[in-house]
Amino acid sequence: MTLSNSSLLDRAETLDASDPLRAYRDLFIGVDDPSVSAYLDGNSLGRPTKASAERINSFVTNSWGGRLIRGWDEQWYELPITIGDTLAAVTLGAAAGQTTIGDSTTVLLYKLARGALALRPGRSEIVVDRDNFPTDRYVMESIAEELGLTLRWIDSDRRGGVSVDQLSASVSDQTALVVLSHVSYRSGYLLDAAAIARVTHEVGALLLLDLCHSVGSVPLELDKWGVDLAVGCTYKYLNGGPGSPAFAYVRAEYQRDFVQPIWGWMGRDDSFAMAQGYEPAPGIRRVISGTPPILGMIALQDTLNLIEEVGMGAVRAKSVALTEYALELVRELLVPLDVEIGSPEDAAERGGHIIIDHPRFESVIARLWHKGVIPDFRAPRGLRLGLSPLSTSFREVCVGVGAIRDELAD
Ligand SMILES: *Cc1c(COP(=O)(O)O)cnc(C)c1O
């Protein structure tokens, strides 16, 4: 940034100094790396915590290396469900016994959607929106083809998301399942999950929410809102590491009859009996198929510990402050250069990231990354600024938006 921006930087530093969560940033690896001046993509891949580096090292040495196969009996077999319970309590607003960790979000979308559809036999439609994340759309397309169902597409506002009225107009007594993202991966639109669940239930359908951009960023109350099923990533705001496994939530009242399509030994009742024929395990364990990725699921516990310490309320307050500040800088520095804001301006309708559009963004992204300013490019012309409440500073936001301005002004 140029010298004329020093008053902007002063203000960013004042905001950092009065940030009640400022000390948490130092618990992450890489925040003092001078080659990365603004990491604005913690919603695609969260930074590792220092605690996770220690935990992974100790796991390899002591648990894997020391306990060997005995580790499965001692702890690992239950870990997908015990970590799932912690994740549920700290971030999902969900009681124990409804959440498990394993597979990818893509695979869990398939398993949960198939399980849900089997609970609504005779109905022929799945409602999904055109601006949902690609994997959500593709998985529903494959299921529709497989089962001969119809997809009822909602054309949502790209700067916003699916409204309650739009959903009302799209559901009917033929709707089996509604699949939506709670926070839009592109616009950051935060939908009204309780109202969406109500509209879904009015026609007797089930709601499967994708929480990839919500978990660890916006407070969730799945039990209270009446959400039926949910999936989400752990490598975004939960900092589980690249490809860390996803989580699945199945509301307790459906579990007795819930059968997912990939019948594996680890989800069978009494796995180690190696018995003939598949009998789903009681409870949430039946969502598991094969051996769960233990090494991949341990790091996210460190971020859950931090969130438990500060509470989702404080996380959300910081998140809102960061996106408000980013929008303020965008209006001041970028809107005069023909940048358009592609996210809701009302914080109550927004998750933890914003997106801005400009025809030249595709050509500036490589130069920004080269300079150590790292947002995400989202086709056709969006830069997405992801602001991870525990690890992003106001200074990073200022440096990042300043660098984008410098590129466009060039
Ligand atoms: C990131 C993301 C995914 C990713 O799914 P994977 O199976 O982990 O690749 C899915 N849905 C949404 C909404 C996402 O933002």
For 381-409, write each residue's pLDDT tens digit.
999 999 999 999 999 999 999 999 999 99
pLDDT of residue 145: 98
Q: How many domains does the chain have?
A: 2
pLDDT of residue 410: 82
Distances (CA, A) of 53 to 207, 242, 243: 37, 14, 16
User: Which atom of ligand 1 lies at the shortest distance from residue 181's CA?
Assistant: 13
319 in the same domain as 297:
no
Average pLDDT, the chain: 97
Q: With contact defined as beta carbons under 8 Å apart, do 130 and 156 qualify?
A: yes
- Output the residue whose Cα is nearest ligand 1's atom 2: 212
Distance 212 CA to ligand 1 centre (A): 6
Distance 313 CA to ligand 1 centre (A): 24
317 in the same domain as 302:
no
Distance 6 CA to ligand 1 centre (A): 38
| Domain contains 138 | yes
Q: In this prediction, what percent of the chain has a pLDDT beyond 70?
A: 99
> How confident is the model over 278-288, as a mean pLDDT?
98
212 in the same domain as 136:
yes
Per-residue pLDDT band for 157 (boundaries 50, 70, 90) equals confident
Distance 240 CA to ligand 1 centre (A): 14
| Domain contains 143 | yes
Backbone CA torsion sign across 392, 398, 404, 410 = negative
User: Which atom of ligand 1 lies at the shortest distance from residue 44's CA?
Assistant: 1
For a mutational test of ligand 1's pocket, the pick from 186, 233, 376, i.e. the residue with the most ligand atoms closer than 8 A to its C-beta, is 233
User: Which atom of ligand 1 lies at the shortest distance from residue 132's CA?
Assistant: 13
| Domain contains 167 | yes
In sequence order, what are the residues at sequence separation of 6 or more whose Cβ sits closer than 8 angstroms to the Cβ of residue 249? 88, 92, 94, 98, 99, 222, 227, 229, 230, 231
Final residue of a structural domain among 307, 330, 358: 307
The CA distance from 372 to 367, in Å, is 9
Taking the model in full, what pTM does it have?
A: 0.97
For a mutational test of ligand 1's pocket, the pick from 41, 133, 231, i.e. the residue with the most ligand atoms closer than 8 A to its C-beta, is 133
| Three-class SS of the chain | CCHHHHHHHHHHHHHHHCCCCHHHHHHECCCCCCCCCEECECCCCCCCEHHHHHHHHHHHHHHHHHHCCHHHHHCHHHHHHHHHHHHHHHHHCCCCCCEEECCCHHHHHHHHHHHHHHCCCCCCEEEEECCCCHHHHHHHHHHHHHHCCEEEEECCCCCCCCCHHHHHHHCCCCEEEEEEECECCCCCEECCHHHHHHHHHHCCCEEEEECCCCCCCCCCCHHHHCCCEEEECCCCCCCCCCCCCCEEEECHHHHCCCCCCCCCHHHECCHHHCCCCCCECCHHHHHCCCCCCHHHHCCHHHHHHHHHHHCHHHHHHHHHHHHHHHHHHHHHHHHHHCCEECCCCCHHHECCEEEEECCCHHHHHHHHHHCCEECEEECCCEEEEECCCCCCCHHHHHHHHHHHHHHHHC
The domain that contains 323 carries what CATH number?
A: 3.90.1150.10
| Domain contains 7 | yes
264 in the same domain as 193:
yes
Distance 14 CA to ligand 1 centre (A): 35
- Pick from 5, 259, 270, 220: which is nearest to 119 by CA? 259
User: Which atom of ligand 1 lies at the shortest distance from residue 185's CA?
Assistant: 15
Per-residue pLDDT band for 364 (boundaries 50, 70, 90) equals very high
User: Which atom of ligand 1 lies at the shortest distance from residue 236's CA?
Assistant: 1
The domain that contains 118 carries what CATH number?
A: 3.40.640.10
User: Which atom of ligand 1 lies at the shortest distance from residue 235's CA?
Assistant: 8
CA 340, distance to chain mean position in Å, is 25
258 in the same domain as 137:
yes
| Domain contains 56 | no
Backbone CA torsion sign across 59, 62, 65, 68 = negative
Which residues pair with residue 354 across a beta bridge?
385
Distance 332 CA to ligand 1 centre (A): 32
The CA distance from 390 to 46, in Å, is 10
| Domain contains 59 | no
For a mutational test of ligand 1's pocket, the pick from 106, 129, 132, 135, i.e. the residue with the most ligand atoms closer than 8 A to its C-beta, is 135
Final residue of a structural domain among 307, 333, 349: 307
133 in the same domain as 240:
yes
| Domain contains 66 | no
For 118, the domain range is 75-307
> How confident is the model over 241-261, as a mean pLDDT?
98
Does pLDDT of 2 surpass 90? no
Does pLDDT of 4 surpass 60? no
Give 13-68 pLDDT, tens digit per residue: 999 999 999 999 999 999 999 999 999 999 999 999 999 999 999 999 999 999 99
319 in the same domain as 403:
yes
315 in the same domain as 303:
no
- First and final C-alpha spacing in the chain: 13
Could you give the strand order of the β-sheet that contains 206-210, starting from the edge strand earlier in sequence? 99-101, 247-250, 229-232, 206-210, 175-181, 125-129, 150-154
| Domain contains 191 | yes
Final residue of a structural domain among 307, 325, 358: 307
pLDDT of residue 167: 98
> Annotated active-site positions, please?
133, 210, 235-236, 384
Is pLDDT larger for residue 140 or for residue 159? 140
102 in the same domain as 32:
no
358 in the same domain as 333:
yes
Distances (CA, A) of 198 to 55, 208, 351, 379: 42, 13, 21, 33
In sequence order, what are the residues at sequence separation of 6 or more whose Cβ sits closer than 8 angstroms to the Cβ of residue 372? 34, 35, 36, 37, 38
Is the N-terminal amide bond of 34 cis, ω within 30° of 0? no
> How confident is the model over 252-264, as a mean pLDDT?
98
Distance 236 CA to ligand 1 centre (A): 9
Ligand 1 pocket by Cβ (under 6 Å): 104-106, 133, 135-136, 181, 185, 210, 212-213, 233, 246
The CA distance from 204 to 120, in Å, is 9
In this structure, of 166-170, 285-289, 378-382, the range with the lowest mean pLDDT score is 378-382
Could you give the strand order of the β-sheet that contains 376-378, starting from the edge strand earlier in sequence? 340-341, 353-357, 382-386, 376-378
339 in the same domain as 206:
no
The CA distance from 277 to 17, in Å, is 61
Does pLDDT of 3 surpass 60? no
107 in the same domain as 150:
yes
Give 311-332 pLDDT, tens digit per residue: 999 999 999 999 999 999 999 9
